[in-house]
Structure 1
């Protein structure tokens, strides 16, 4: 279970908090979609979840491990796909994945099997020996997903994972996320593609100006808003325009 309790984050001399008293809970085996307008605080929250930023206040727990006091144990359970993947461009994809496997101390036999399996699923098998500098944005995105899944983390955190992917790759990634959650793991991802969130997610969180407006299922949100709101896009726009916490 992922738990965020009363998270606050403010940058520099800004008058408003980027994340303002955010609390949420994601159960194991769930896919959680994190939604909000640009500048709502989604990426800031994700960077706190993966340890790239420290909260000004509040706590983050995963399976009882504290992201602050148990940082190393906490991070060992996490796979992360950033919105803009960054690599050592002169490495080959295979060298990058070997580097990740070394960090997580994955033995040679297991890493080969995992790399072969994931590369085949994400259609990168034929270019693993190519330098990353030759990759398109979509290929780098797929490599980032493979690297995140390689150590078989219990918690997978993705920031706009569908960006740059073609329709086939997006479909494959959605299937991977479903299988991953079905195996008892937790998926937390942000997206602007509301149709994907509606189809894929068990629960949703909607944030605006750093404040959580809603957390729960699409069906619950639909029931709260009443009849006539059949899709998430309409509900999202109504909720974020009203800006009223739920």
Structure 2
């Protein structure tokens, strides 16, 4: 009888350990402080604190107000760190994109320590980088297409710009390309094309030869065309 009791006890312990192992595995990401995307509300205390901190940093400018939260993540680290990419309005440069991280410990008795800024707050004009992204497309397509003349963007394409920590991404559509009167240099493959074509405008009555869409990414290095599609397809 004692042997049976021992076996039953060991079986119960084994089941308990198996359950605990599954529980730990299921929550490993949270326990290790994994960063996860989430959907905050503009009235959340962390978001309100983030906006107050942005205005504190740029106290000499007009007060900025939140337009929308572009991207947000949370991370468990002795409380939670909330990282926000926020579009704001009211600054001297018009709409801006700000990146701010808030460390939240709402249980602390000292109210001044419940919410703290982690890292530096950065704000940039919403459409900064667009010119560089369009330049990257012109360089990419002119290198790819073996035409006699350089081609340039004729119109103002539709642009969706997304920023998240460490990366800028531009989704650009309705890119109308037309020929210039500049003949391609034999050194164009070894030269910065933007220097070669900066004095090669597209004439107002030039025909649109091809219409493209492209995704341009900047992540630490230069602006790079990640993908593209053109009609008709030159190459």
> Same fold judged by TM-score > 0.5?
no
More helix by share: 1
More strand by share: 2
Larger Rg: 2
Q: Tell me the TM-score normalised to structure 1 length.
A: 0.23
Structure with bigger RCO (C-alpha 8 Å, 6+ apart): 1
Q: Tell me the TM-score normalised to structure 2 length.
A: 0.23
